[in-house]
Amino acid sequence: MKVLALATSALFVAGPALTQQPQPNRFQLERTESGIVRLDTQTGAMTLCHDENGTLACRMQPDERAAYEQELDRLEKRVTALEERLSHTPPNTLPSDEEVDRSLSIMERFMRRFMAIVGEFIDEREDNKPQPNRT
């Protein structure tokens, strides 16, 4: 009965919590006849926990476990794909002459434009200097 009341309240608590910023007290604990129910106030997920030697032990529910396993599988596949891609890339390869020439050309254009802008500022500064009094 208490679990049903807690589940109903979870719907009211979790709805607004999903749209808000993370809360410092994310989990609520409630004692039941069969242990402790942990309510995630952000997602509405409930987990049954037991007090084992003064430590709260929470076990994943089957649907939580399945989602967890799917995420692990997805990440393992991603890591494997990245490792495979890295293994095909020769280590410490130097850029080709064309790549070096292209990079230097880009840097040269940048420096020429930059120095032109600096030159304009220097010219403007000299134009705004008061002229010496020659009288």
Q: Provide the H-helix boundaries in the chain.
A: 2-19, 62-87, 97-127
| Cα distances (angstroms) measured from residue 31 to each of 67, 75, 120, 131 | 26, 36, 76, 88
**In whole angstroms, what is the distance from residue 16 CA to residue 11 CA?**
9
| Token couple for 13 | 């608590």
pLDDT at 4 over 70: no
Could you report the per-residue pLDDT of 103-124, keeping only the tens digit for each? 999 999 999 999 999 998 888 7
- pTM, entire model: 0.32
Rg value, the chain, Cα? 33
Pairing of strands 35-40, 55-58: unpaired
CB distance 39 to 13 below 8 Å: yes
Percent of the chain at pLDDT above 70? 75
pLDDT at 3 over 70: no
